[in-house]
A and B are shown apart, each in its own frame.
Chain A
Amino acid sequence: MSVIIQSLSRNKFYNWVYKNLFSSWVNTIMTIIAVIFVYEIGTFFLNWAIFNADFRTNFQGELITDRTFCSKNISPGEYGACWAIIYARWDQFMYGLYPIEETWRVNITYALLPLAIIGILFDKLPYRKLFIYFTFLFPFIAYFMLYGGPGLSTVGTNKWGGLLVTLFLGVTGIGLAFPLSILLALGRRSKMPIIKSLCVVFIEFIRGVPLITLLFTANVMLPLFLPDGVNPDNLLRALVAVTLFQSAYMAEAIRGGLQAIPKGHIEAADALGLTYWQTTRKIILPQALKIAIPPIVNTCIGLFKDTSLVLIIGLFDLLGIGRAALADMTWTKLYYEVYVFISLVFFIFCFGMSRYSLYLEKKLKTDNS
């Protein structure tokens, strides 16, 4: 019996291979080219990144403390990546110039972040209400842990850097932009002409300008709009720009969701005597946001990557820290290692968001409501 099943499933496998990979000459050639291509690139990369690479020690077994110890610099042509720069600069990649003895505060914040997000992501999570409460509590905890307060020494944002800045801008920008974008999207559909035009102008202006321009504007011009003596630090200025930028894009994603709600639902709510805000909160937004989540996640992926632009205004996000590491004479010229590492970190976060969006799309399709 099991032999039959085995041969059946083997047949199935052969059939699949034949049908999908070798069904015609063209297909066969494409398959062979693709396999050779993937094999060549794959082995080259794996050899470079893992098998011929240095991690903490070189091929002679010495601990690598500067670039001259890298195997590839001792014996050129034979060896691959020298990851020692990542080890040596690990703290900077993770925390920037955050005082080493205080980095436990950042680590705790990193550890709490998933707990703060998970309640928003999964609607069938057990004890979801508690997680959502924590979500709202988290910004205060994070502020206290990262910046300091009673009992904790103050660490100015000029000391923040690396992944900390990237995540701070990404998560806070998205978190602040979300409520703002809901208001913008509702405003754009408002019957009140002044509110409507304000929202349209705001959204279209922000969408018509590159993020870099907004970052420069926030950096240079924000102090001009504020009263004398109020001088927000650089990170806060960048946060303002990022939030405004993200809110405009998110508002458009949410508007798409709003447009999908049948007019009849609103009429039914009107006929029952519900007010505009009751209808919005209870009828329109729950449906519209559900539809809009995949495009919202897409804008979040975009924003997360765009945060690396802040290095232009002198902030050291992950990319900025990487470039600073390369500027250090001890480690200079290890470009590939640094950029591959940074790409990997960005990829992990963005790929995670992308998978989540796919998961949601599937879930929305199977939901019966």
Chain B
Amino acid sequence: MEQVIQLEKVNKWFDDFHVLKDIDLTVTKGQKIVVCGPSGSGKSTMIRCINRLEAHQKGHITVHGTELTNDLKNIDIIRKNVGMVFQQFNLFPHLSVLDNISLAPIWVKKMPKKDAEEIAMSYLEKVKIPEQAKKFPGQLSGGQQQRVAIARSLAMNPDIMLFDEPTSALDPEMIKEVLDVMIQLAEEGMTMLVVTHEMGFAKTVADQMIFMDEGRIIEQATPHEFFNNPKSDRTKLFLSQILNH
């Protein structure tokens, strides 16, 4: 299998606080990995290191054979291939939905405006809200905003998608519409790294489960193993808390 992301002994500190400790992780093409763990365990920081929203201080991160260093050129190359969806959507409130999505194709890929808007419309159809194209983010529900954010990311045609707790800021009745889009994306073969506590989603989609705590990967296993036969006590405790609440 082709390796698309490789983390080797990655360490990161926020000042004195050691957030990531010797993280090793390999992601192959088309793999769907769900990362879970208590808050402060470093799971968000880990995926934010993959597109350099955070810089790691020790170890190596390689995406598609390009290593992430301070070299801005490498960062640009990697960011063009890696899409990201945030907990807070982070849509640009002063731009219409269509402009939000077509902005990066126009400015980063230097696409003519008309083509970029066509692409934007096609992705809006994919996330099932083409009728919202002319609206502004503030006029949409949380679920709709997050779907726009997914479409915005997909419009750059990335081959890896990072999701940082994409449903945590949503009202319960809107979670499903976002997860449905993500499941569809998974079925199409996208390589996905998802930080989430939606265990139903994990069971349906994930090839691999990762459990993190205190900056370490505690357990990595297939969903079947992970849910039915967790090895560490810490994982068992976490699962009992999150599945029984």
Chain A residues with CB under 8 Å of chain B are 262, 264-265, 267-274, 278, 282-283, 286-287, 290, 368-369
| A271 to B84 CA separation, bound complex (whole angstroms) | 6
Pick the residue among B53, B76, B88 that contacts A273 (CB under 8 A): B76
Pick the residue among B52, B93, B107 that contacts A274 (CB under 8 A): B107
| A264 to B53 CA separation, bound complex (whole angstroms) | 10
Is B186 at the interface (CB under 8 A from chain A)? no
| A286 to B107 CA separation, bound complex (whole angstroms) | 16
Top 4 A-B residue pairs of the complex, sorted by shortest distance between their CB atoms: A268-B90, A272-B104, A264-B90, A271-B84
Interface contact A283-B92, CB-CB below 8 Å: yes
Residues of B within 8 A of A270 (CB): 51-53, 79
Is B201 at the interface (CB under 8 A from chain A)? no
| A287 to B156 CA separation, bound complex (whole angstroms) | 24
Interface contact B139-A274, CB-CB below 8 Å: no
Q: How close is B44's CB to chain A, nearest CB, in angstroms?
A: 11
Residues of B within 8 A of A265 (CB): 90, 92
Interface contact B92-A272, CB-CB below 8 Å: no
| A191 to B82 CA separation, bound complex (whole angstroms) | 24
What secondary structure prevails in chain A residues at the interface with B?
helix
Q: List 8 A-B contacts (CB under 8 A).
A: A262-B88, A262-B90, A265-B92, A270-B52, A271-B153, A274-B103, A278-B107, A287-B92
Q: A271-B82, A272-B156 are in contact. List 18 more A-B contacts (CB 8 A).
A: A262-B88, A264-B86, A265-B92, A267-B90, A268-B90, A268-B92, A269-B92, A270-B53, A271-B84, A273-B80, A274-B103, A282-B103, A282-B107, A283-B92, A287-B94, A290-B94, A368-B138, A369-B93
| A265 to B94 CA separation, bound complex (whole angstroms) | 11
Interface contact A273-B104, CB-CB below 8 Å: yes
Interface contact B94-A271, CB-CB below 8 Å: no
| A273 to B103 CA separation, bound complex (whole angstroms) | 11
| A58 to B103 CA separation, bound complex (whole angstroms) | 69
| A267 to B83 CA separation, bound complex (whole angstroms) | 12
Residues of A within 8 A of B53 (CB): 267, 270-271
Is B227 at the interface (CB under 8 A from chain A)? no
A290 (CB) vs chain B CBs: closest residue: B94
| A274 to B92 CA separation, bound complex (whole angstroms) | 13
Interface contact B107-A271, CB-CB below 8 Å: no
Pick the residue among B52, B79, B139 that contacts A272 (CB under 8 A): B79
Within 8 A of A (CB), among B196-239: none
| A109 to B92 CA separation, bound complex (whole angstroms) | 40
Given the known inter-chain contacts A278-B107, A368-B138, please indicate yes or no for A271 contacting B92, CB distance below 8 A: no
A286 (CB) vs chain B CBs: closest residue: B94
Residues of A within 8 A of B103 (CB): 272, 274, 282
| A270 to B90 CA separation, bound complex (whole angstroms) | 11
Within 8 A of A (CB), among B59-109: 76, 79-80, 82-84, 86, 88, 90-94, 103-104, 107-108
Interface contact B93-A287, CB-CB below 8 Å: yes
Interface contact B156-A268, CB-CB below 8 Å: no
Interface contact A369-B136, CB-CB below 8 Å: yes
Q: How close is A287's CB to chain B, nearest CB, in angstroms?
A: 5
Residues of B within 8 A of A368 (CB): 136, 138-139
Q: How close is A309's CB to chain B, nearest CB, in angstroms?
A: 38
| A273 to B53 CA separation, bound complex (whole angstroms) | 11
Interface contact A271-B79, CB-CB below 8 Å: yes
Q: How close is B176's CB to chain A, nearest CB, in angstroms?
A: 24
Residues of A within 8 A of B104 (CB): 272-274
Is B56 at the interface (CB under 8 A from chain A)? no
Is B32 at the interface (CB under 8 A from chain A)? no
Within 8 A of A (CB), among B38-62: 51-53
Q: How close is A11's CB to chain B, nearest CB, in angstroms?
A: 41
B137 (CB) vs chain A CBs: closest residue: A369
Interface contact A271-B88, CB-CB below 8 Å: no
Given the known inter-chain contacts A264-B88, A368-B138, A369-B138, please indicate yes or no for A272 contacting B108, CB distance below 8 A: yes
Is B12 at the interface (CB under 8 A from chain A)? no
Residues of B within 8 A of A267 (CB): 53, 86, 90
Given the known inter-chain contacts A368-B138, A368-B139, please indicate yes or no for A273 contacting B108, CB distance below 8 A: yes
Is B152 at the interface (CB under 8 A from chain A)? yes
Pick the residue among A262, A264, A274, A290 that contacts B108 (CB under 8 A): A274
| A283 to B152 CA separation, bound complex (whole angstroms) | 14
| A271 to B107 CA separation, bound complex (whole angstroms) | 13
Residues of B within 8 A of A274 (CB): 103-104, 107-108
Residues of B within 8 A of A264 (CB): 86, 88, 90
| A290 to B95 CA separation, bound complex (whole angstroms) | 13
B83 (CB) vs chain A CBs: closest residue: A271
A271 (CB) vs chain B CBs: closest residue: B84
Residues of A within 8 A of B136 (CB): 368-369
| A287 to B137 CA separation, bound complex (whole angstroms) | 14
B147-185 vs A, Cβ < 8 Å mask (1 yes, 0 no): 001001100100000000000000000000000000000
A283 (CB) vs chain B CBs: closest residue: B92
Interface contact B86-A268, CB-CB below 8 Å: yes
| A355 to B138 CA separation, bound complex (whole angstroms) | 28
Interface contact A272-B153, CB-CB below 8 Å: yes
| A271 to B162 CA separation, bound complex (whole angstroms) | 10
Q: How close is A210's CB to chain B, nearest CB, in angstroms?
A: 38
Q: How close is A291's CB to chain B, nearest CB, in angstroms?
A: 11
